[in-house]
Structure 1
């Protein structure tokens, strides 16, 4: 009887090793690498592994790769697929922070590409995911910031869009500048070195008529190093408002 030599035996990888490889691939943000990570995760998922460790990484893939797609329709499909991986976990385990957090991320990104009526429906889900994630992890400053952005957007929703939402049977959610400011300030107390939070807190205060208070945050924002395209854009916004305070 032929015995297979030991060096020809295929030793299955441990789950932790596979997930480590997946994280390494996802962190490159290169399309080829991220799709290789997706294939590994999808194989585990189809093999019956529906653990949160696999599901949230599948959701993360969808979140990161939606931006690479050309049309809003394709982006929506990708983001909805990411949500599908996590909704079942969320509905059966409301204490699962990873599920709530990544559903909030996916839902927020969906708001940017959904048509108006669908956006109004999705916005309520977004808020519920954010509220749940913050309740589970109150020290997560970035979630406080994102909830501030949610309030900020709906505080600025025009009366005509609100009227349209009523006519379409999808009444827009309510949000106030004060609620946005409170969440930005909560984020500020938890982490005081976020350029983005400084800028949006300043804008909310400016729009609320508190220009003196806003100027302080714009001034601080202008002291941050601008080494990325996003930071340069935020710096320009801060400078624009600073000279109008």
Structure 2
């Protein structure tokens, strides 16, 4: 039983946090995307066509590319930059299946930029609500192989390190307690490398903060289970988690409701009630554009009721 609880906690460490940053709701589930195209997609899906006038050139190119791909999921003879623009636009619009089919053409590519995006698309396919368990597992391991190859091609690619950490966490769900805990060290290493290569990536900072928070709050009996398997199981502190959440907020203020919530919860865990109240209030007042924003709002309200 304790082992099962530990697996769930480990899963929460990255799988919940991996849905961080911005999001869209599609096919009855919430899909979350780390992308600079979020406002573009919101404008398009809300019918505010006038907003297109003010879009950056890159987004307009993506919009044109999107119409080209509507008639077919397979697009040939596109230059690298155009394909990447098209892929990023489809990602921002939550066109998961079309994106996967587009990038699958480049599975044998030597370009890390294609491969980590394909790993991400494979993962998103695996998370689709109607996906059968067998196919979900195949896509999960497939995505991990793509991102491994991406790092082999370019070990200085920040996004490849970030998605390696996320995909490895997914794979860990099929490896049991020992595999999950063993992978935790590797996951942290790759998140730290992603941040080293791109210190302005707020989502990597947030995920690493969540990793620290999850291990800081492990109950003693779960630590005991981990200690039986490893002589030195992963450990962290609330102070360390706080540093990463704060840094994420510094590089991209107010970028994510969950980061505000986690700041509040971390301060409360450190017995700093006033600061905890401040960030929980900010999380409660954050505009609820996504399902996760609404869930964050609900949790913040419940925590505030207990404190006031």
**TM-score, length-scaled by structure 1:** 0.81
Which SS does the other structure have where 2:267 is aligned?
helix
Which SS does the other structure have where 1:222 is aligned?
helix
Higher relative contact order (CA 8 A, sep 6+): 2
Deviations 1:92-150 (A, max 9, x none): 64322221122133234455675322210111111011000001111212211111000
The count of residues paired between Structure 1 and Structure 2 equals 229
8 Å Cα contact 1:181-1:201 kept in structure 2: yes
- Find the counterpart in structure 2 of residue 58 from structure 1: 118
Q: In 2 relative to 1, CA 111–215 (structure 1 residues): closer, same or farther, beyond 3 Å?
A: farther
8 Å Cα contact 1:117-1:170 kept in structure 2: no
Question: How much has 1:85 moved relative to structure 2?
Answer: 1.5
How far apart, CA to CA, are the structure 2 residues paired with 1:110 and 1:141?
24
Which SS does the other structure have where 1:225 is aligned?
coil
Q: Tell me, which stretches of 5 or more residues in structure 1 are unaligned?
A: 1-10
Q: In 2 relative to 1, CA 36–93 (structure 1 residues): closer, same or farther, beyond 3 Å?
A: closer
Q: 2:191 aligns with which of 120, 130, 140?
A: 130
Q: Does 1:203 align with 2:259?
A: no
Deviations 1:163-187 (A, max 9, x none): 2223234753111111111111111
Q: 1:140 aligns with which of 201, 206, 210?
A: 201
Question: How much has 1:55 moved relative to structure 2?
Answer: 0.6
**TM-score, length-scaled by structure 2:** 0.66
The alignment's C-alpha RMSD in Å is 2.5
- Which of 94-103 and 215-224 deviates more? 94-103
Q: In 2 relative to 1, CA 162–41 (structure 1 residues): closer, same or farther, beyond 3 Å?
A: same
Which structure's CA Rg is the greater one? Answer: 1
Question: How much has 1:212 moved relative to structure 2?
Answer: 1.9
Q: Does 1:101 align with 2:162?
A: yes
Q: In 2 relative to 1, CA 95–22 (structure 1 residues): closer, same or farther, beyond 3 Å?
A: closer
Which SS does the other structure have where 1:244 is aligned?
helix
- Find the counterpart in structure 1 of residue 79 from structure 2: 14
Q: In 2 relative to 1, CA 151–13 (structure 1 residues): closer, same or farther, beyond 3 Å?
A: closer
- Which of 191-200 and 168-177 deviates more? 168-177
8 Å Cα contact 2:112-2:153 kept in structure 1: no
Q: Does 1:238 align with 2:303?
A: no
Q: Does 1:116 align with 2:177?
A: yes
- Find the counterpart in structure 2 of residue 29 from structure 1: 94
8 Å Cα contact 2:284-2:296 kept in structure 1: no
How far apart, CA to CA, are the structure 2 residues paired with 1:168 and 1:38?
38
Q: Tell me, which stretches of 5 or more residues in structure 2 are unaligned?
A: 1-75
Which SS does the other structure have where 2:127 is aligned?
helix
Which SS does the other structure have where 1:81 is aligned?
helix
